Protein backbone atom coordinates (compact mmCIF):
# COMPACT_ATOMS: atom_id res chain seq x y z
CA UNK A 1 0.00 0.00 0.00
CA UNK A 2 1.59 3.29 -1.10
CA UNK A 3 1.67 6.47 0.99
CA UNK A 4 -1.05 8.20 -1.03
CA UNK A 5 -3.41 5.27 -0.53
CA UNK A 6 -2.56 5.14 3.16
CA UNK A 7 -3.35 8.83 3.61
CA UNK A 8 -6.63 8.46 1.75
CA UNK A 9 -7.66 5.56 4.02
CA UNK A 10 -6.67 7.52 7.12
CA UNK A 11 -8.91 10.40 6.08
CA UNK A 12 -12.00 8.24 6.46
CA UNK A 13 -11.15 5.05 8.31
CA UNK A 14 -9.12 6.18 11.31
CA UNK A 15 -11.08 9.24 12.39
CA UNK A 16 -13.62 8.78 15.22
CA UNK A 17 -17.11 7.79 14.12
CA UNK A 18 -19.93 7.07 16.52
CA UNK A 19 -21.72 3.79 15.85
CA UNK A 20 -25.26 4.11 17.22
CA UNK A 21 -26.69 0.96 18.81
CA UNK A 22 -29.91 -0.18 20.50
CA UNK A 23 -30.78 0.70 24.11
CA UNK A 24 -29.02 4.05 23.86
CA UNK A 25 -25.54 2.53 23.54
CA UNK A 26 -22.75 3.63 21.22
CA UNK A 27 -19.23 2.57 20.23
CA UNK A 28 -16.49 4.78 18.82
CA UNK A 29 -15.00 3.34 15.65
CA UNK A 30 -11.82 4.42 13.91
CA UNK A 31 -8.97 5.35 16.26
CA UNK A 32 -8.56 1.80 17.60
CA UNK A 33 -9.54 -1.55 16.16
CA UNK A 34 -12.29 -3.42 18.01
CA UNK A 35 -12.89 -7.15 18.39
CA UNK A 36 -16.21 -8.95 18.01
CA UNK A 37 -16.03 -12.40 19.61
CA UNK A 38 -17.83 -15.27 17.88
CA UNK A 39 -20.09 -17.32 20.16
CA UNK A 40 -21.83 -19.97 18.06
CA UNK A 41 -24.67 -21.72 19.89
CA UNK A 42 -24.83 -24.37 17.17
CA UNK A 43 -23.99 -28.05 16.76
CA UNK A 44 -22.53 -27.68 13.26
CA UNK A 45 -20.57 -24.44 12.78
CA UNK A 46 -17.43 -25.03 10.71
CA UNK A 47 -14.95 -24.28 13.50
CA UNK A 48 -16.57 -24.49 16.91
CA UNK A 49 -19.87 -26.29 16.37
CA UNK A 50 -21.06 -27.96 19.55
CA UNK A 51 -18.59 -26.23 21.87
CA UNK A 52 -21.19 -23.90 23.35
CA UNK A 53 -24.25 -26.09 23.10
CA UNK A 54 -25.92 -24.89 26.28
CA UNK A 55 -26.56 -21.51 27.88
CA UNK A 56 -23.98 -21.90 30.64
CA UNK A 57 -21.14 -22.76 28.25
CA UNK A 58 -22.05 -19.94 25.87
CA UNK A 59 -22.26 -17.37 28.66
CA UNK A 60 -18.92 -18.50 30.07
CA UNK A 61 -17.37 -18.19 26.61
CA UNK A 62 -18.74 -14.65 26.38
CA UNK A 63 -17.32 -13.79 29.82
CA UNK A 64 -13.92 -15.09 28.77
CA UNK A 65 -13.96 -13.18 25.48
CA UNK A 66 -14.88 -9.94 27.22
CA UNK A 67 -12.17 -10.41 29.83
CA UNK A 68 -9.63 -10.93 27.04
CA UNK A 69 -10.57 -7.67 25.35
CA UNK A 70 -13.55 -8.21 23.07
CA UNK A 71 -15.72 -5.12 22.66
CA UNK A 72 -18.70 -7.10 21.30
CA UNK A 73 -19.95 -10.65 21.64
CA UNK A 74 -21.77 -12.02 18.58
CA UNK A 75 -24.31 -14.76 19.32
CA UNK A 76 -25.36 -17.02 16.45
CA UNK A 77 -27.82 -19.90 16.38
CA UNK A 78 -27.57 -21.15 12.79
CA UNK A 79 -24.43 -22.23 10.97
CA UNK A 80 -23.61 -20.13 7.91
CA UNK A 81 -20.95 -22.50 6.58
CA UNK A 82 -21.41 -23.83 3.03
CA UNK A 83 -23.84 -26.75 3.21
CA UNK A 84 -24.83 -25.94 6.78
CA UNK A 85 -28.15 -27.33 8.00
CA UNK A 86 -31.03 -24.87 7.73
CA UNK A 87 -33.13 -24.49 10.86
CA UNK A 88 -36.42 -22.79 11.57
CA UNK A 89 -36.88 -19.53 13.46
CA UNK A 90 -38.09 -21.19 16.66
CA UNK A 91 -35.00 -23.40 16.87
CA UNK A 92 -32.75 -20.41 16.27
CA UNK A 93 -34.53 -18.38 18.92
CA UNK A 94 -34.43 -21.21 21.46
CA UNK A 95 -30.66 -21.26 21.04
CA UNK A 96 -29.79 -17.56 21.09
CA UNK A 97 -32.38 -15.76 23.21
CA UNK A 98 -31.54 -17.38 26.58
CA UNK A 99 -27.86 -16.65 26.00
CA UNK A 100 -28.51 -13.01 25.13
CA UNK A 101 -30.79 -12.60 28.15
CA UNK A 102 -28.21 -14.14 30.49
CA UNK A 103 -25.32 -11.99 29.21
CA UNK A 104 -27.44 -8.83 29.34
CA UNK A 105 -28.55 -9.63 32.89
CA UNK A 106 -25.04 -9.89 34.28
CA UNK A 107 -23.01 -7.33 32.32
CA UNK A 108 -23.04 -4.15 30.26
CA UNK A 109 -21.47 -5.97 27.30
CA UNK A 110 -22.34 -4.95 23.76
CA UNK A 111 -24.24 -7.92 22.32
CA UNK A 112 -24.75 -8.74 18.65
CA UNK A 113 -27.16 -11.31 17.24
CA UNK A 114 -26.07 -13.13 14.08
CA UNK A 115 -29.34 -13.61 12.20
CA UNK A 116 -31.04 -12.79 8.92
CA UNK A 117 -34.57 -13.28 10.32
CA UNK A 118 -36.62 -10.23 11.30
CA UNK A 119 -38.52 -12.08 14.01
CA UNK A 120 -35.35 -13.37 15.67
CA UNK A 121 -33.72 -9.95 15.41
CA UNK A 122 -36.64 -8.21 17.12
CA UNK A 123 -36.80 -10.74 19.94
CA UNK A 124 -33.02 -10.58 20.37
CA UNK A 125 -33.05 -6.80 20.74
CA UNK A 126 -35.96 -7.08 23.17
CA UNK A 127 -33.80 -9.57 25.12
CA UNK A 128 -30.87 -7.15 25.35
CA UNK A 129 -28.98 -7.28 22.03
CA UNK A 130 -27.59 -4.01 20.66
CA UNK A 131 -26.53 -5.06 17.15
CA UNK A 132 -28.07 -7.09 14.33
CA UNK A 133 -25.50 -8.90 12.19
CA UNK A 134 -27.12 -9.96 8.88
CA UNK A 135 -25.03 -12.19 6.61
CA UNK A 136 -27.53 -11.63 3.77
CA UNK A 137 -27.13 -7.86 3.80
CA UNK A 138 -30.84 -7.10 4.42
CA UNK A 139 -31.69 -8.93 1.17
CA UNK A 140 -33.02 -12.24 2.52
CA UNK A 141 -35.78 -11.12 4.90
CA UNK A 142 -37.06 -7.66 4.01
CA UNK A 143 -38.49 -7.15 7.48
CA UNK A 144 -35.13 -7.13 9.21
CA UNK A 145 -34.34 -3.62 7.99
CA UNK A 146 -37.57 -2.36 9.55
CA UNK A 147 -36.65 -4.07 12.83
CA UNK A 148 -33.27 -2.34 12.84
CA UNK A 149 -34.89 1.02 12.16
CA UNK A 150 -37.64 0.63 14.76
CA UNK A 151 -35.39 -0.68 17.53
CA UNK A 152 -32.45 1.63 16.86
CA UNK A 153 -30.11 -1.35 16.66
CA UNK A 154 -26.71 -1.15 15.08
CA UNK A 155 -26.70 -3.11 11.83
CA UNK A 156 -23.85 -5.08 10.23
CA UNK A 157 -24.65 -5.40 6.52
CA UNK A 158 -22.64 -8.22 4.97
CA UNK A 159 -21.88 -8.85 1.31
CA UNK A 160 -22.52 -12.33 -0.03
CA UNK A 161 -22.24 -13.95 -3.43
CA UNK A 162 -24.61 -16.78 -2.60
CA UNK A 163 -27.70 -17.55 -4.70
CA UNK A 164 -26.86 -15.10 -7.49
CA UNK A 165 -24.55 -14.38 -10.40
CA UNK A 166 -21.58 -12.28 -9.31
CA UNK A 167 -19.86 -9.53 -11.25
CA UNK A 168 -16.38 -10.48 -12.41
CA UNK A 169 -14.50 -7.74 -10.54
CA UNK A 170 -14.52 -8.26 -6.77
CA UNK A 171 -14.86 -4.57 -5.90
CA UNK A 172 -17.53 -3.96 -8.54
CA UNK A 173 -19.52 -6.82 -7.03
CA UNK A 174 -19.07 -5.47 -3.52
CA UNK A 175 -20.22 -2.03 -4.59
CA UNK A 176 -23.23 -3.31 -6.54
CA UNK A 177 -24.47 -5.58 -3.76
CA UNK A 178 -23.80 -3.27 -0.82
CA UNK A 179 -25.38 -0.25 -2.50
CA UNK A 180 -28.52 -2.33 -3.01
CA UNK A 181 -28.43 -3.16 0.71
CA UNK A 182 -27.93 0.48 1.62
CA UNK A 183 -30.96 1.40 -0.48
CA UNK A 184 -33.00 -1.14 1.51
CA UNK A 185 -31.65 0.37 4.72
CA UNK A 186 -32.49 3.92 3.64
CA UNK A 187 -36.02 2.97 2.56
CA UNK A 188 -36.60 1.35 5.96
CA UNK A 189 -35.42 4.45 7.81
CA UNK A 190 -32.15 3.10 9.22
CA UNK A 191 -29.88 5.97 10.22
CA UNK A 192 -26.46 6.06 8.55
CA UNK A 193 -24.78 6.17 11.96
CA UNK A 194 -26.17 2.70 12.74
CA UNK A 195 -24.53 1.02 9.73
CA UNK A 196 -21.33 -1.00 9.45
CA UNK A 197 -20.45 -2.91 6.26
CA UNK A 198 -18.81 -6.34 6.02
CA UNK A 199 -17.25 -7.53 2.72
CA UNK A 200 -18.11 -11.13 3.60
CA UNK A 201 -14.81 -12.97 3.28
CA UNK A 202 -15.47 -16.60 2.38
CA UNK A 203 -19.11 -16.21 1.39
CA UNK A 204 -19.25 -17.58 -2.17
CA UNK A 205 -15.71 -16.40 -2.82
CA UNK A 206 -12.82 -18.62 -3.88
CA UNK A 207 -9.31 -18.20 -2.37
CA UNK A 208 -8.14 -15.89 -5.15
CA UNK A 209 -11.20 -13.67 -4.79
CA UNK A 210 -10.64 -13.39 -1.05
CA UNK A 211 -6.99 -12.44 -1.53
CA UNK A 212 -7.84 -9.88 -4.21
CA UNK A 213 -10.44 -8.44 -1.85
CA UNK A 214 -7.80 -8.11 0.86
CA UNK A 215 -5.33 -6.51 -1.56
CA UNK A 216 -7.90 -3.94 -2.71
CA UNK A 217 -9.56 -3.45 0.66
CA UNK A 218 -8.97 0.31 0.80
CA UNK A 219 -11.25 0.75 -2.23
CA UNK A 220 -14.19 -0.26 -0.04
CA UNK A 221 -13.83 3.00 1.91
CA UNK A 222 -15.30 4.78 -1.11
CA UNK A 223 -18.72 3.41 -0.11
CA UNK A 224 -18.46 5.60 2.99
CA UNK A 225 -19.13 3.38 6.02
CA UNK A 226 -17.01 1.70 8.72
CA UNK A 227 -15.90 -1.80 7.79
CA UNK A 228 -16.10 -5.06 9.72
CA UNK A 229 -13.90 -8.04 8.80
CA UNK A 230 -14.83 -11.68 9.35
CA UNK A 231 -11.89 -13.71 8.04
CA UNK A 232 -11.41 -15.83 11.15
CA UNK A 233 -10.35 -19.41 10.38
CA UNK A 234 -11.85 -19.24 6.89
CA UNK A 235 -11.04 -21.83 4.22
CA UNK A 236 -9.04 -19.41 2.09
CA UNK A 237 -6.58 -19.07 4.98
CA UNK A 238 -6.29 -22.84 4.97
CA UNK A 239 -5.58 -22.73 1.24
CA UNK A 240 -2.82 -20.17 1.78
CA UNK A 241 -1.20 -21.86 4.79
CA UNK A 242 -1.95 -25.53 4.15
CA UNK A 243 -3.80 -25.73 7.49
CA UNK A 244 -6.71 -28.11 6.91
CA UNK A 245 -8.12 -27.88 10.45
CA UNK A 246 -10.01 -24.64 11.04
CA UNK A 247 -8.77 -24.19 14.62
CA UNK A 248 -5.17 -24.27 13.34
CA UNK A 249 -5.71 -21.05 11.37
CA UNK A 250 -5.60 -18.58 14.26
CA UNK A 251 -2.10 -17.32 13.43
CA UNK A 252 -3.17 -16.69 9.84
CA UNK A 253 -6.29 -14.97 11.14
CA UNK A 254 -4.22 -12.67 13.33
CA UNK A 255 -2.11 -11.80 10.29
CA UNK A 256 -5.24 -10.75 8.38
CA UNK A 257 -6.34 -8.69 11.38
CA UNK A 258 -3.08 -6.73 11.44
CA UNK A 259 -2.96 -6.29 7.68
CA UNK A 260 -6.58 -5.19 7.32
CA UNK A 261 -6.37 -2.89 10.32
CA UNK A 262 -3.56 -1.08 8.48
CA UNK A 263 -5.97 -0.80 5.54
CA UNK A 264 -8.65 0.76 7.68
CA UNK A 265 -10.90 -2.03 8.96
CA UNK A 266 -12.65 -1.02 12.18
CA UNK A 267 -14.07 -4.23 13.68
CA UNK A 268 -12.75 -7.80 13.56
CA UNK A 269 -15.06 -10.78 14.10
CA UNK A 270 -12.85 -13.56 15.51
CA UNK A 271 -12.76 -16.86 17.37
CA UNK A 272 -9.44 -16.34 19.21
CA UNK A 273 -9.71 -13.01 21.00
CA UNK A 274 -6.28 -13.05 22.66
CA UNK A 275 -4.25 -13.59 19.48
CA UNK A 276 -6.17 -10.97 17.55
CA UNK A 277 -6.00 -8.50 20.44
CA UNK A 278 -2.21 -8.69 20.23
CA UNK A 279 -2.28 -8.33 16.44
CA UNK A 280 -4.46 -5.23 16.79
CA UNK A 281 -2.19 -3.80 19.47
CA UNK A 282 0.79 -3.98 17.11
CA UNK A 283 -1.15 -2.54 14.17
CA UNK A 284 -2.60 0.31 16.21
CA UNK A 285 0.81 1.11 17.70
CA UNK A 286 2.28 1.28 14.20
CA UNK A 287 -0.56 3.50 13.03
CA UNK A 288 0.02 5.81 15.99
CA UNK A 289 3.74 5.96 15.29
CA UNK A 290 3.08 6.64 11.61
CA UNK A 291 0.82 9.58 12.47
CA UNK A 292 3.57 11.11 14.62
CA UNK A 293 5.97 10.88 11.69
CA UNK A 294 3.63 12.84 9.38
Which one of the listed residues 234, 249, 261, 263 is annotated catalytic? Answer: 234
* Closest to 201 measured CA to CA, from 211, 192, 191: 211
Q: Which residues contact 199 (CB under 8 A, 6 or more apart)?
A: 158, 159, 174, 213, 217, 220, 227, 229
Question: What DSSP state is assigned to residue 169?
Answer: S
Which one of the listed residues 17, 205, 261, 269 is annotated catalytic? Answer: 269
* H-type alpha helices, the chain: 3-13, 55-68, 89-106, 118-127, 143-151, 170-188, 207-215, 235-241, 250-262, 273-293
* Closest to 148 measured CA to CA, from 115, 179, 180, 102: 115
CA 134 to chain centre: 9
* Closest to 62 measured CA to CA, from 230, 273, 262, 211: 273
CB 276 within 8 A of CB 254: yes
CA distances, 273 to each of 35, 130, 177 (Å):
7, 20, 30
205 annotated active-site: no
269 annotated active-site: yes
Q: What b/e readout covers 255-269, taking b as 16+ CB neighbours within 10 angstroms?
A: bbbbbbbbbbbbbbb
CA distances, 11 to each of 15, 234, 287, 291 (Å):
7, 30, 13, 12
CB 262 within 8 A of CB 286: yes
DSSP secondary structure string for all residues of 22-46? GGG-EEEESSS-EEEEEEE--S--T
Question: What is the three-class DSSP state of 237?
Answer: helix
- Any idea which residues carry the catalytic annotation? 234, 269
Amino acid sequence: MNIATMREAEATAFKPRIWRLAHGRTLTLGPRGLLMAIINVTPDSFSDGGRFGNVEDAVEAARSALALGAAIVDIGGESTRPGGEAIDARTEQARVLPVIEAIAAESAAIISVDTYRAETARLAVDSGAHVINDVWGLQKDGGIARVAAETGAGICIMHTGREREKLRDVIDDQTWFLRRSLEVASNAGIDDTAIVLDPGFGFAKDPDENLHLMARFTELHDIGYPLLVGASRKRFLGAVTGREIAADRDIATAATTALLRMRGAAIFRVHDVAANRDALSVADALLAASSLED
